[in-house]
Structure 1
Amino acid sequence: MSGRPEQLFPLFAGLETLPGVGRKTAQHFSQIAVETPRDLLFSLPYAVVDRRRRDTIKGADLPSTLTVEVTVGAHRPSSGRGGAYRVHVEDAQSDFQLVFFHARGDFLRRQLPEGARRVVSGKLELFDGLAQMVHPDHILSPGDAGDIPEFEPVYHLTQGVTQKTMYKAVQGALARLPELAEWIDRAQLDRRDWPDWAAAMRLAHAPSGLDDVMATTPPRERLAYDELMAHQLTLALARQRDRKAPGIASMGTGSLQGKVLQSLPYHPTSAQSRAIEEIAGDMAVAQRMNRLLQGDVGAGKTLVAFIALLVAVEAGGQGVMMAPTEILARQHLEALAPLAEEAGVVLEILTGRDKGGERKAKLAALAGGKIQVLVGTHAVFQPDVTFHDLRLAIIDEQHRFGVRQRMDLADKGVAADVLVMTATPIPRSLALAQYGDMDVSVLDEKPPGRKPIKTAVVSTERMDEVVGHLRRAIDEGRQCYWVCPLVEESELVDLTAADERFKRLRAVLGDDVVGLVHGQMPPADKDAAMAAFQSGDTKVLVATTVIEVGVNVPNATIMVIERAETFGLAQLHQLRGRVGRGTAQSTCLLMYRPPLSDGGRKRLEVLRETEDGFVISETDLKMRGAGDVIGTAQSGLPRFQIADLERQAALMAVAQSDARALLAADPELNSERGRAARVLLWLMRQDRAIRLITVG
C-alpha cells in the first residue's frame, strides 16, 4: 500500500484546477482549511434558497427571495455620491424597483437596456410601501436563465469567496467524483437505506428544500458515518497493533494485594472488584493492556490503581503512576504511601524538581529495581530515566495527555501494560471517539460511608449570610474551599478576584484562618498553602480552579464556588467532588450573580438535582457541544466536518463495532471490502492508520 490510490488523484489536485478558482481565490479558500477539491466536497451546504421561477411577485410574502422574468423600464440614476441607482421593472402582473448602490450607470445600462427582457433573482422587500430588490443575486437574459439552479445550496464562506464562486467550484469538484467500491457493510446500507458514496455526495450538494440540509437525511447520515468509520478504523488498527505488540505476562500472586485489602476498614465495592479483575486478567496475558479506568469523583480509583501496581510488583516487576501536575503527583504519593507501607513496597516520587545528586540516586535505584513503584509527572518520560523491569504504566487524567503520548510510551519500546485513569465521566459517544482503541472499566458506585453532598444555589447578594454560615462551621472545626473564577481583576471581565476575596475573608475571619492558592504563584508557595490547608492550620482555602483535580482533604466539608454560572458543568462537578470525602455531611454552595441566563440556570439546576457524573456530562454535551466538554484544544478529539458527535452518538457506536468486526475478519484489509476501506482511509486523510497497515 505504497501511496494514494490513483482514482483519488483528481480529488487531491490543486484547487486552481477547478472552474472559476485562480491563485488568489485558492488562497482565500485556505482560510477555511479548503486546500483540495476533496475538502470542498466535504464542506456541505447549511441552507438552501428556493429560486424556482414565478410569473409575478404579486401575492408573495415579503421579504423573501424571488426569481421572476421582467421587462426593464426607466433608469433613475442617484442624485448624490453613493446614493441609490434605481431601475423600474415590470413582471406579468406587477412592478418593482431594482436598487444599486455605488453603481456605474454605463455598466447598468449595458446590463439592463430599457425594454429588454431579463430574469432577476434576489431578495425582495418592502421599503416605504414600495417593493424593491437591492443588488439582485442574478440578472440574466431569458436564454441563459437555465444557469440559475431551482434550489441553490448556501455554503459557509470566507472573505474573498462568494456563494457564486463556491457553487461553481463545488460543481466542478462533483464532476470529478470517482465511483468507489463500497466500504460499508451491505446489510447496514440496506437497513438505513443509504445511497452509495458518490450519489450521497451529489445529493448532499443538491438540496431541494430545507429538509435536505438536515443531518438525518440518508445522504448526510451516510457521509457522517464514513467519517466516523474512518476514525474508528484508525483506532481499531492502533488497537490491533498494540495487541500484536509483544507484551509481558504479569501474573499476580495475591500476597501483597491480600495485605492491603485486609488492612482496609471497608470492603471494595463490586465495581472496584470487577475493575481489579478485568485489569489483572489483561495483565496476565502476553499482550499489551490498553485499558481506560473511568470513575466518577470519589468512586475509589486510587485503590484499584494501587492493586494493579501490586500485580506488577508481585510478578517481579515495577509500576509507574503518572500525573499531569506536580501537586497531583505529590498527592498520589500521599494517598499511596499508607497502602505501600501495609504491602511493604518501596514507593518513590520523581518530578522536574529532582536535581543533581538526589536525582542521580533515584535513577540508579530505579534502574537497579530497588524502587518498585514510582510516582511522577511526565518527567518520567525523559531519556535518562530507565526502569529495571517496567510492567505497568498508569496515566492519570487522560485528556491532559492524549493519544499521542500513549503512542510515545509504546514507541519508547516499553512493552508495559497501560492503564489510563480519568475522573471525568465522559458520555459514551465521546468516550468512543477519544478512547475507541481502548477497553473500558467503569467505576459506577461510591464506596460505603460516603454521604451525598447537599448542593444549594445562592445569589451573590446573600454574601454576608454565606460568610456567617462559614464562620459557624469553622468554629465547629470544619474546613472550607472558596473557589474564585479569576486571579487578577481584569477590566474586561468583572469577576471577583481571588486576591480580593482572600483579603476580605481574612478581615472577617482572621488572618491565620485563611489561605490562598492560585495558578500564578511560585510552585513552592502553592505547595506550602496546600500543605497548611491539608494539615488543618488554615481553615479556609481561597483558590482558583487549580484545585479542580486531585486534592484530598477529608475534613473539608464546605465548597463555595463563586460566579458558578461562569464554569462548565463538568468543572463544577469536579470541584464539588473535593468535599464529601470524609464521614461528615458536606455542602456545596453555587453562588451566581443575577440575572442568570437560561443556560446558566439550567446548568446550576442539573447540579442541584444530581451527583451522577455521567448524567451531568450527557447534559453538558447537549448544552455545550463536544469540543467544550473535553476542551477540544488539548483533547485529542477528532474534528469531524460532517458528523455531529452530539446528535449522532448512536452512529459512532455502530462504526466502532463495524470497524472492529471488519479487522477481526480481515486484519490486513486485503479482502474486497478491506481494499475499499483502505481507499476510505486515504479519502479521509487518516495517514497514521495507513502507516499502521503498511508497517503492520
Structure 2
Amino acid sequence: MKLIDLHNLSQKRLKALHQSGVHSPLDLLYLFPRRYIDKSNIQPIRNLHRFSEPVTILGKVKSKNVAGYKNKRRLEVIIQDNTGVCKAVFFKGWRYFINLFEEDSWVSLYGTAKKYGKYMSMAHPEVEQIESLDEMKIPDTLIPIYPSNKHFSKAYISNKIITGWIQDILKSVQFDDFLPNDILSENQFPTREKAFHVIHQPKTRQEANRALERFKFEEFFLFELSMMKIKRQRIERAPGIRLKPGELTKKFFNEILPFELTNGQRNSLSDIKKDLLSGNQMNRLIQGDVGAGKTVVAIGSILMAIDNGYQTAFMAPTEILAEQHYYTIKEYLEPLGINFRLLTGSQSTSLRNDVLSDIAGGNCEIAVGTHAIFQEKVQFNNLGLVVIDEQHRFGVKQRNEILQKGDHPHLLVMSATPIPRSLAMTIYSDLDISVIKDLPAGRKHAKTAVRSDAEREAVYSFVNKQVETGDQVYVIFPLIEESEAMDLKDATMGYEKLKKRFPSFSIDLLHGQMDSGEKESKMRKFAEGETQILVSTTVIEVGVDVPNATIMMIEHAERFGLSQLHQLRGRIGRGEKQSYCILLPDQKLTESAKFRLKKMVETTDGFEIAEADLKLRGPGDFLGTKQSGLPEFKYADIVEDRMLLESAKNSARDIIQTDPDLRSSNHQKLRKVFKPYYKERAEFFGIG
C-alpha cells in the first residue's frame, strides 16, 4: 500500500502530510494518538459539580464571546448538551481558540470544571472538533485523538479522517518484527503488529500504555545499540597511544601536590591509568561537583602524556575559565619545568603567532585555551591527549574536530554539572564515566538560607561582621533578559547601593562586557584579598577559586535555574572556614521557584539537585542549550522512562558483546533496520 492509495486524499491533503513529515503509510502509523477519550468518563454537563478530576463532556457550541479589555481579554464559549450548559474560558491564545468553535458545531472538551457564577466552567480545556455524535459511537471504549497542526487544519484533515486512514493501513499492511524474540519475551512486549493495532484501537488505557512502552523501548534500544557499536568501532579502528606514568607524574604526586587525594580522585586516576595503558583510545568523562578536585585528576593524565613525549590540549568554554586553568596549571607544574601556553581569541596577533609557533614546534607541552584551539591554524607537533572542561558547553562535532589534530589522541572530558544517570546514558553513552563524589579534606558544605527583603538589613549586619573578621563576599545578580545591557544595569545599581551601605569596605564590580584583561585584574584583586565584596553578574559562575570567600548573596534567586544556583554556591566553601549561601528572592514566587529554593536549602548533593533540575526543565534546557548530540526521542522520555532506558541499554550491550555485526539468523531483521540508523549516528560521531 502507498500513501496515495488512501481514500479522500486530495493533493492538498497529500502536501499537508508531507509538510508534517508523513511520507509513507508507516509514517502515518507512527503518528500516535496524543490522548484518548474514555467514553466511560464522558459526563453529562449536569453532573460536572460531582467531579474534582478532569472529565470529558460533549456538546454543541451555542455562543462565543470575547470579554474583557485591552491586554486582559478572554474568550468565553457556551457549550450545551441535553442536560445543561458549561462555559469554556480561554485567557491565553484566545485568537487561536476562537477559530476552533463554530456555532451549532459539536465539540469535545476535556478538563476540570469549577463553578463560577451561574455556570460550571472549564479554564483552557483540551478541545476536539467532532463532526457528529456518530463519531462517538465507535464500539471501542477509547477513542484516539491524533495530533494536529496548521497544515492539517488548512487541508481539513480531521481526527475522523486520520482514524479512517489508519484503519485502512492496519487492514492492508503486514509488519516484520525487528526486535529479537528473546527481548520480546523477556520484557513481555506485544509484537510490532499487535502494538500498532493496540495503540490505534485500544480497549483499555493499560493496553495502550503497554504498546507505547514497546515503541519507547525501540527508540532507546536502537540508540543504545548504536552507541555500543560506536564505542566498539573506536576501539577497533583507533588503537590508542600507550602511556605509562614516568618521573614527572611520580614527582608531582609524591613531592609537589600539597594535599592528600580523596578516594574519588584516586579511583578516577586509576580508571585513567588503565585506559592509557590499555592500548585503546581513552574516551572518559570525569564527573564531579564543583570543588571535587577534577583538575588535579586531569593534571595526572596530562603528566602521563608529557612523560611519554606527547602534547596536551586543555580546553575550556570561556576565556575566564581557560585563564583559571592556566594559572592553576602554572601553580602546580611550574616547578617541574613544563612549558605551557595560553591560547584565546582576544590575544594580540604577535602573541598569538608566538603561541601557535610554540605549539606547532612541539616546545609547548600543554596548550590551554578556548574554542580558539579548534581553528585550522592551530597545528600540534605530537598531540597525545585532549582534556575538555565543562564538556556540555561543547558539541559532539567540536569534540571530534579537536581529536583530528593528532593521531587518535586520548580524550578526557570533565563536567562540574553533575549529570543524572538517565542523561549520562544518552548524551554521554559513547564515553566511559568516572565519578568523584567526595570533597577534599577540610572542605565544609555551605549552609544555605532563604531570606526575604524584610530581612535584608539583618543579612547586611551578618556580612559586615564576617568581612570585619577577614572574610570575603560575592554578590550575584542574574541575567534578567537576554541582554547584557539589562544585566549590567541591575548589577551596577546593586553595586552603588552596597558602596553606600558599606563605605569602609573595598567593593568592586565584575561583568561580561569587560575585556579579558580587566576581568583578570578584578578577579586577581579579589583572589588576593584586596577586594572584600565582589558584585558580579553570572560570569563568576565559572570564575576564580578564592578560599577566603565565605559568603555568597544571590539577588533575585528565583530567576536562576536549580543547577545554576548550585554551580554558583560552589564558588564558596573552597577553604576550611564555614561558608554561607544566602538566597534573596523577590516576594512573589511561583511553585517552581519555591521548589528550587527549598531544594537548595535541603541538600548540597549536586547529583540530587541535578536529578530534580532535569525533571523540572527537561534534558535540552538542563544542559543550558540544545546540546548537539542529545538524541531526539519522539515518544520516550529519558526522565520518566528511565527504567526502560536501563533495560534497553542492557539488551543492546548483550547483543554487541555476542553478535556485534548482527550476523546471527535471529538478528537479520534487526540488522536491516539498524544499518541506516547506525550510519547516521556514526557519521555524526566521526566514525566512518
| Both structures adopt the same fold (TM-score exceeding 0.5) | yes
The residue identity in structure 2 corresponding to 1:345 is I
Tell me how far 1:475 sits from its aligned partner: 2.2
Alignment partner, residue 37 of structure 2: 49
Choose 385-394 or 538-547, whichever is displaced more. Answer: 538-547
The residue identity in structure 2 corresponding to 1:200 is A
Alignment partner, residue 469 of structure 2: 476
Question: Is structure 2 residue 647 aligned with structure 1 residue 651?
Answer: no
Question: Is structure 2 residue 160 aligned with structure 1 residue 164?
Answer: yes
Structure 2: how far apart are the matches of 1:450 and 1:196? 55
Tell me how far 1:594 sits from its aligned partner: 2.3
The residue identity in structure 2 corresponding to 1:45 is P
Task: Describe the superposition over 1:608-641 as per-residue Cα deviations: whole angstroms up to 9, x where unpaired.
Answer: 1221111111222233333332235136321211
1:39–1:398 CA distance, 2 compared to 1 (3 A): farther
| Equivalent of residue 204 in structure 1, options 195, 199, 202 | 199
Tell me how far 1:340 sits from its aligned partner: 1.0
1:406–1:35 CA distance, 2 compared to 1 (3 A): farther
Structure 1: how far apart are the matches of 2:560 and 2:18? 34
Structure 1: how far apart are the matches of 2:533 and 2:463? 9
The residue identity in structure 1 corresponding to 2:466 is A
Task: Describe the superposition over 1:244-297 as per-residue Cα deviations: whole angstroms up to 9, x where unpaired.
Answer: 233333332331122212222321112111111111111122221111111111
Structure 2: how far apart are the matches of 1:342 and 1:179? 68
1:444–1:476 CA distance, 2 compared to 1 (3 A): same
TM-score normalised to structure 2 length: 0.83
Tell me how far 1:421 sits from its aligned partner: 0.5
1:146–1:154 CA distance, 2 compared to 1 (3 A): closer
Structure 2: how far apart are the matches of 1:695 and 1:542? 47
Alignment partner, residue 380 of structure 1: 373
Question: Is structure 2 residue 187 aligned with structure 1 residue 192?
Answer: yes
Task: Describe the superposition over 1:30-75 as per-residue Cα deviations: whole angstroms up to 9, x where unpaired.
Answer: 6765565444433322321245899x9799768976799xxxxxxx
Choose 175-184 or 202-211, whichever is displaced more. Answer: 175-184
Alignment partner, residue 533 of structure 1: 526
Alignment partner, residue 114 of structure 1: none
Residue correspondence of structure 1 range 462-611 to structure 2 within 5 A: 462-486=455-479, 497-510=490-503, 513-611=506-604
Question: Is structure 2 residue 142 aligned with structure 1 residue 154?
Answer: no
Give the total of aligned pairs. Answer: 640
Q: Secondary structure at the match of 2:280?
A: coil
1:58–1:243 CA distance, 2 compared to 1 (3 A): closer
Alignment partner, residue 74 of structure 1: none
Q: Secondary structure at the match of 1:433?
A: coil
| Equivalent of residue 239 in structure 2, options 236, 247, 256 | 247
Structure 2: how far apart are the matches of 1:648 and 1:475? 52
Tell me how far 1:440 sits from its aligned partner: 0.7
Structure 1: how far apart are the matches of 2:383 and 2:482? 47
Alignment partner, residue 256 of structure 2: 263
Residue correspondence of structure 1 range 354-503 to structure 2 within 5 A: 354-412=347-405, 414-486=407-479, 497-503=490-496
1:465–1:369 CA distance, 2 compared to 1 (3 A): same
Q: Which has the larger radius of gyration?
A: 1
1:29–1:462 CA distance, 2 compared to 1 (3 A): farther
Choose 470-479 or 26-35, whichever is displaced more. Answer: 26-35
1:147–1:22 CA distance, 2 compared to 1 (3 A): farther
Alignment partner, residue 227 of structure 1: 219
Alignment partner, residue 627 of structure 1: 620
Tell me how far 1:671 sits from its aligned partner: 2.3
Residue correspondence of structure 1 range 58-207 to structure 2 within 5 A: 137-139=130-132, 150-159=141-150, 160=153, 161-175=157-171, 177-184=173-180, 186-207=181-202
The answer to whether the Cα contact below 8 Å between 2:491 and 2:535 also exists between their aligned partners in 1 is: yes
The residue identity in structure 2 corresponding to 1:371 is C
Tell me how far 1:581 sits from its aligned partner: 0.5
RMSD: 4.0
Tell me how far 1:426 sits from its aligned partner: 0.9
The answer to whether the Cα contact below 8 Å between 2:257 and 2:332 also exists between their aligned partners in 1 is: no
Alignment partner, residue 116 of structure 1: none
The answer to whether the Cα contact below 8 Å between 1:333 and 1:349 also exists between their aligned partners in 2 is: yes
Tell me how far 1:542 sits from its aligned partner: 1.5
Question: Is structure 2 residue 301 aligned with structure 1 residue 283?
Answer: no
| Equivalent of residue 325 in structure 1, options 315, 318, 324 | 318
Structure 2: how far apart are the matches of 1:590 and 1:570? 14
The answer to whether the Cα contact below 8 Å between 2:555 and 2:584 also exists between their aligned partners in 1 is: yes
The residue identity in structure 2 corresponding to 1:206 is Q
TM-score normalised to structure 1 length: 0.82
Choose 585-594 or 354-363, whichever is displaced more. Answer: 354-363
The residue identity in structure 1 corresponding to 2:158 is T
The answer to whether the Cα contact below 8 Å between 1:392 and 1:419 also exists between their aligned partners in 2 is: yes
Structure 2: how far apart are the matches of 1:58 and 1:507? 63
Structure 1: how far apart are the matches of 2:476 and 2:638? 32
Task: Describe the superposition over 1:334-369 as per-residue Cα deviations: whole angstroms up to 9, x where unpaired.
Answer: 111121123321111111233433222222222222
Alignment partner, residue 657 of structure 2: 664
The answer to whether the Cα contact below 8 Å between 1:183 and 1:673 also exists between their aligned partners in 2 is: no
Q: Secondary structure at the match of 1:387?
A: coil
Structure 1: how far apart are the matches of 2:119 and 2:481? 55
Alignment partner, residue 615 of structure 1: 608
Structure 2: how far apart are the matches of 1:553 and 1:575? 13
Alignment partner, residue 4 of structure 1: none
Where do 5+ consecutive residues of structure 2 fail to align? 64-77, 87-99, 121-126
1:511–1:18 CA distance, 2 compared to 1 (3 A): farther
Structure 2: how far apart are the matches of 1:203 and 1:485? 49
Q: Secondary structure at the match of 1:287?
A: coil
Percent of aligned positions with the same letter in both sequences? 36
The answer to whether the Cα contact below 8 Å between 1:256 and 1:314 also exists between their aligned partners in 2 is: yes
Task: Describe the superposition over 1:514-555 as per-residue Cα deviations: whole angstroms up to 9, x where unpaired.
Answer: 222223444443333323322333222222222222431222
Task: Describe the superposition over 1:199-227 as per-residue Cα deviations: whole angstroms up to 9, x where unpaired.
Answer: 212212223344455xxx32111111100
1:495–1:147 CA distance, 2 compared to 1 (3 A): farther
